[in-house]
Chain A
Amino acid sequence: METLGLLAHGFSTALTPENLFATFIGCLLGQFIGILPGIGPAAGIALLLPITFGVKATTALMMLSGIMYGAMYGGTLTSVLINVPGEAASVMTAVDGHQLAKQGRAGAALSVAAIGSFLAGIGAVLLLAFLCPILGDFALKFNAPEFFLLATLGLTMTASLGSGSAVKALLMAVFGIMVALVGTDPMVGTVRLTFGELELMDGIDFIPVAVGIFGIGEVLSSLEPSQADVIPIKTKLKDLWLTAKDWADCRMAILRGGVVGFLVGLMPGVGPVVASMLAYVIERRVSKHPERFGKGALDAVAAAESANNAAVHGAMVPMLALGIPGSAATAVLLAALVLLGIRPGPMLMTQQADLVWGLIASMLIGNIMLIFMNLPFAPAFAMVLRVPYDYLAPGILVVSLVGAFATTLSLFNVGITIFFGIIGYLMIKFNLPRAPIVLAIVLAPMMESALRQSLMLSSGSPMIFIQRPIAAVLLVLVFVSLSLPFFRRKTVEAKGDELDGTI
């Protein structure tokens, strides 16, 4: 009941004209960012962060989070109409969505994706509203040892649950921590790893790294193939109407996708990409006709899209309740909170109740705005796809540089952005995951402070991490997450041996 009261108070904050406008702008920009290949929600939030300077923190956060979940809706358009995922979490949507479009059912695919995203998003926000206070109250028992291990768990889970090599993911997390070490020591203020460069005394700012790695790196990679002008498959308004059979086929997929997505999103470091893949796999497994998957199954689109939007909202739970980002995009949001002068962590729910509950209410409002944007106006947004990417790429690069300059008014930061843009491009070439770097940069200061405070409390004894019960559980989870990839590989090898044996 208390939660409902707080949520009602949140609506009074979110429904002011200024905040409504900010939510609308955020959702609209997020929609466009989702449509544009070469830039995802993390880079989009980082790029657009400077335009929130000078507005209230609550308003800024509503706009920035609108970008985050708006991008999930926007990514569907490119996946379905041109078979190019607008952002990574829409990859699974492209698998069946584009097949449906080729069969003349683009409208149905877009429609079920929008409805699934909406329903799963609303459900996820309501769960978030009830879960955050519980988790926040629990987190008040946390002290330095628990925070250190929680941050470590966030990084190890990114490695073990993400796709690709776990060792490479951990290595990139270590690289991110090393980048964060440059500057001044957080506890005694000693300058380190600046190599005499004055500009590095304040450390390497998070925004240039995020914009460089996710924005510039991705655009450079997109420039490699010569871009033929793309003709998206046409959709008409009347095609968006779902039949009763479509709805009957998809409603359970939306429910399952939403639940899977929210639970995956809760796990620090995992994110909507894994959520949509997992939901797709589960839906195929429970389907009575799994042979349809990959050839244009509407329930596949429903499951994947519901999962990715639910995961984005689920990732807000650890961010708001614990101060631990659940994904790359929430890592950028967390950095934005710090830039806006707000200290994230368990105290956020009590010290900044207006901000938190206003944000949660704005997410409900934002999802309603997005369903109205996507259902009748999808064909209008699809026209953006007709603009050749060659005319968009230079603008994205230039806005990246301006955004990097605007955060500190320093051309040195622009240089850092370009440097990390090159690094981001090389990381794509060498199959190195990029999300662990931004997560690590955000978490590193807290990790170091918490670790050193813990050892100070225990007079240098590491036993403090075992003697405290919650810390001990977290330590076990860290080891479990580190060993998961090893067991996963052994399982895959064993299945391979079984198959060999049966041939």
Chain B
Amino acid sequence: MRIIDVAPASVMLGISAVVWGGTRELPYWADFTPGPAFFPRWIAGAGVLLSVILLLQAWRAGGVAKPEWPDKPGAIRVGLTTVGLILCVPLAPYLGFVATAVVFMVAMMMGILRRRLLPSLLTALGTGGLIYAVFVLWLKVALPAGPLGI
């Protein structure tokens, strides 16, 4: 089975169904003008049509085609980095955005990418300093600040 085609087509079928279902309570036509559900339903219809065409193409082509997933070490690098990024969101209001960024970078360089301590610390602190200087001091962006004020 051509997973590389079937999977995105199936996901898009689902999303199209969600768009259709999510707008079913809204008017399709309002007096003399298309309503808020008009465009979404046509787009959902286009999504269904294109998904079916892709599924048919996959069926006609036959064979097996899978995505090129990374090897185990690669998958761990990608997975842990993603988890680290996700954790930045709840941590930022408590630690501060810049502090969280520095912690993330150190953890990524030393823990995930296995780089040496000193260059990792210098890079993380340097980048954190640059972010603070540009976004907080220069652009006055109100990044969440933590106990250290950054």
Contacts and interface: CB of A to CB of B under 8 A. Distances in A.
B78 A411 contact: no
B64 interface: no
Contact of A402 (B7, B89, B135): B135
A402 B22 contact: no
Nearest to A223: B77
A223 B105 contact: no
Nearest to B132: A402
B54 A224 contact: no
A411 B93 CA distance: 9
Given A167-B57, A390-B115, A409-B141, A174 B86 contact: no
Given A175-B12, A223-B77, A402-B143, A418 B86 contact: yes
A430 B8 contact: yes
B30 interface: yes
B92 A411 contact: yes
B1 interface: no
B139 A53 contact: yes
B135 A418 contact: no
Given A171-B51, A192-B22, A405-B143, A451 B34 contact: yes
Interface string B49-73: 0110110010000000001111101
Contact of B50 (A174, A190, A388): A174
A171 B8 contact: yes
Interface residues of A, number: 62
Interface stretch (A233-241, A284-292, A452-460): A452-460
A225 B38 CA distance: 46
Interface of B is mostly: helix
A391 B109 contact: yes
Interface string A397-428: 11101100110010100110010011001000
A429 interface: yes
A108 B39 CA distance: 54
Given A51-B139, A175-B47, A394 B124 contact: yes
A170 interface: yes
Contacts of B26: 190, 192
Interface in A110-160: none
B34 A455 contact: yes
Which of the listed residues A171, A192, A397, A459 has the most CB atoms from chain B within 10 Å of its own CB?
A: A171
A279 B43 CA distance: 35
Contacts of B145: none
B46 interface: yes
A395 B127 contact: yes
Given A177-B43, A414-B89, A430-B67, 15 more contacts: A165-B57, A167-B57, A171-B54, A178-B47, A181-B43, A190-B36, A192-B26, A192-B40, A223-B81, A225-B74, A398-B131, A402-B143, A411-B89, A411-B144, A430-B4
